[in-house]
Structure 1
Amino acid sequence: MNANIITTGLAFGESPRWHDSRLWLCNWGTGEIVAVDENGRSEVMLTVPAVLPYSIDWLPDGRLLVVSGWEGLLLRQEAGGTLVTHADLRHLSKNPWNEIVVDGRGNIYVNGGGPAPAPGEHFGPGTIVLVAADGGVRQVAEDIAFANGMAVTPDNKTLIVAESHARRLTAFDIGEDGSLSKRRVWADLGNDYPDGICIDAEGCVWYADVPNRHCVRVREGGEKIDRVEVDRGCFACMLGGADGRTLFIAAAEWRGFENMVSDARTGQVLSAAVSAPGAGWPSYTSGTRW
């Protein structure tokens, strides 16, 4: 399956979301949140006080949420554009937070944090925290092997998380109170390292893979059924477009963690036509919730 270049000149595109008929993404290394249309026209929507990592999603009422990773804060954009603190995660970990997903009931899941990494390691075992609609914050999962992308099934009953260092997708049941239970391997990915993920209407997951330079569609159980190869690392992917059948890929050349913040602008957004539309959360339907 071939991919078309939509736009170039990004640093590291991450946390892509289809919202209001455009692809929004975090341009790591710059603090920018950028929106790109299907013709490649891009616009900086806002600049946040974070360099990396940071990620985005929306509340059911349409307000933007931003995870400011190293600062340990979940920020919320108010109607006038001001960023305010929605939740403070600093008491849970001094390590950076990474990805966010908001499910159809308004449960906010943020991953990362966790214990300090071992000597010589960039990341320790990660956690997942829940920010509930009433503002309560609590840890709901631990020992995640480098927590990356997350997605929630359309029925709001299952959360899937990419465990990059374990080379697998892991699933949890979501309880009525937003708690996570019944942890299980959703798909063993062999030699692949999943990063950002999204779900389609046939219950499959697309995952991006940096070292293997591709995005892969996988069924529960691990059967890989579609693949998009590119010429650089794939950091995240998102289904969107008018009918949800466009896979958008955030890709960039990978030069190691020590070179993530640099003047290099090898980041691209690519697209590929796929057979099944997006489903679940992150949503491709402009943030509409049940």
Structure 2
Amino acid sequence: MVDTTLVRDGLRFGEGPRRGPDGRLHYSDFYDHEVRALDLDTGAEEVVCAVPGQPSGLGWLPDGRLLVVSMKDRVVLRLEDSGLVRHADLNDIATFHANDMLVDAHGRAYVGNFGFDLHAAIAAGGEAQLLGPDRVVPGTPLALVQPDGTTSVAADDLKFPNGMGLLPDGRLVVAETLAFGLTAFDVASDGTLSGRRVWAPLRDHFIAPDGIAVDDEGGVWVAAALQPYAFRVVEGGEITHRVETSQICFAVAIVDDRLVCCTAPTSQPEVVSTARLGRLEVHRL
């Protein structure tokens, strides 16, 4: 039985949901090339900006300016009064499309990328080749972007680094989608990472973690990517809650007392770029 309420349909593919500084839900629609802001109480929605290179991860600098990942360009853009400008170039770091992003309270951004052409690989050989114990998945770096746009490699050899969140104790958690787990890092005062460790192994639950959201108690809500569920996971991998969605759940955000889920029947572009099957669904926490 579905545990969510539909709040918006007709999307192509929603991703990167975040609670904005104004309290509204902000999200990207990959194939409409738009970043939108939605008031979950009134249903009022507006287009914040158009991103021709395909928008994904979102975040804000301390002064409130929006940062948005332009996937195919492999850059981070910054929204000024005059429009979008380049904030950081990730072409020397990202080995395929740039993707999800976390911006911390200091304005430092952590940006993942696909690492390889995932959708072409699935179209050519199916998902099974990427999911089995003998699979070979390329590793790729996680990028660190300083507030001034300077870039560096934060961590190497991640298996499709995707959603990210900061735990209450300051550690960074990264969803490694094709490693079937959540990985934690210690964060230094300059934003650099160390102490890499497995925070939650999820293969036994067949959870390929996509987007994630950290709650106030340090639990991590995980979009399951291969399943129509969002799961709440604690350190070590125990699942404490399960929320069933109407379609596969690819991204989550916490907005006040609501868990927002971005869902679609698949992530394959040949399907979702042409049809409007994406949804935003909400579960009261």
Q: Map 1:198-213; keep pairs closer than 5 Å.
A: 198-213=213-228
- In the alignment, is residue 151 of structure 1 matched against residue 165 of structure 2? yes
The alpha carbon displacement at 1:75 in A equals 0.6
Structure 1 regions of 5+ residues with no counterpart?
275-290
- In the alignment, is residue 245 of structure 1 matched against residue 257 of structure 2? yes
SS of 2:14's equivalent in the other structure is strand
- In the alignment, is residue 136 of structure 1 matched against residue 150 of structure 2? yes
Alpha-carbon distance between aligned partners in 2 of 1:71 and 1:102, rounded to the nearest angstrom? 19
- In the alignment, is residue 102 of structure 1 matched against residue 103 of structure 2? yes
Check whether the contact 2:61–2:105 (CA below 8 A) recurs between aligned residues. Answer: no
Counterpart selection for 2:276 from 265, 277, 282: 265
Deviations 1:171-203 (A, max 9, x none): 011112211111111101121111100100111
The alpha carbon displacement at 1:58 in A equals 0.7
Structure 2 regions of 5+ residues with no counterpart?
123-136
CA gap of 1:106–1:195, structure 2 versus 1, over 3 A, is: same
Q: Which of structure 1's runs of 4+ aligned residues deviate more than 6 A?
A: none
SS of 1:165's equivalent in the other structure is helix
Alpha-carbon distance between aligned partners in 2 of 1:29 and 1:93, rounded to the nearest angstrom? 21
Counterpart selection for 1:42 from 37, 40, 45: 45
How big is the alpha-carbon RMSD for the aligned residues of Structure 1 and Structure 2?
A: 1.9
The residue that corresponds to 2:244 in the other structure is 229
The alpha carbon displacement at 1:113 in A equals 5.8
The residue that corresponds to 1:163 in the other structure is 176
The residue that corresponds to 1:91 in the other structure is 92
CA gap of 1:145–1:94, structure 2 versus 1, over 3 A, is: closer
Alpha-carbon distance between aligned partners in 1 of 2:117 and 2:250, rounded to the nearest angstrom? 22
The residue that corresponds to 1:287 in the other structure is none
How many residue pairs align between the two structures?
A: 265
Letter in 1 for 2:43: G
The alpha carbon displacement at 1:96 in A equals 1.2
Q: TM-score, normalised by structure 1?
A: 0.86
SS of 1:29's equivalent in the other structure is helix
- In the alignment, is residue 17 of structure 1 matched against residue 18 of structure 2? yes
The alpha carbon displacement at 1:165 in A equals 1.0
CA gap of 1:125–1:261, structure 2 versus 1, over 3 A, is: farther
Letter in 1 for 2:277: T
Check whether the contact 2:112–2:160 (CA below 8 A) recurs between aligned residues. Answer: no
Check whether the contact 2:114–2:161 (CA below 8 A) recurs between aligned residues. Answer: no
Alpha-carbon distance between aligned partners in 2 of 1:154 and 1:219, rounded to the nearest angstrom? 13
Check whether the contact 2:61–2:106 (CA below 8 A) recurs between aligned residues. Answer: no
Q: Map 1:25-64; keep pairs closer than 5 Å.
A: 25-38=27-40, 39-51=42-54, 54-64=56-66
Check whether the contact 1:169–1:186 (CA below 8 A) recurs between aligned residues. Answer: yes
Alpha-carbon distance between aligned partners in 2 of 1:57 and 1:82, rounded to the nearest angstrom? 16
The residue that corresponds to 1:282 in the other structure is none
Alpha-carbon distance between aligned partners in 1 of 2:175 and 2:166, rounded to the nearest angstrom? 12
Alpha-carbon distance between aligned partners in 2 of 1:94 and 1:169, rounded to the nearest angstrom? 21
Name the % identity: 40
Q: TM-score, normalised by structure 2?
A: 0.87
The residue that corresponds to 1:254 in the other structure is 266
Check whether the contact 2:60–2:67 (CA below 8 A) recurs between aligned residues. Answer: yes
Check whether the contact 1:113–1:127 (CA below 8 A) recurs between aligned residues. Answer: no
Deviations 1:234-268 (A, max 9, x none): 1101011xxx2210111111163543422x11111
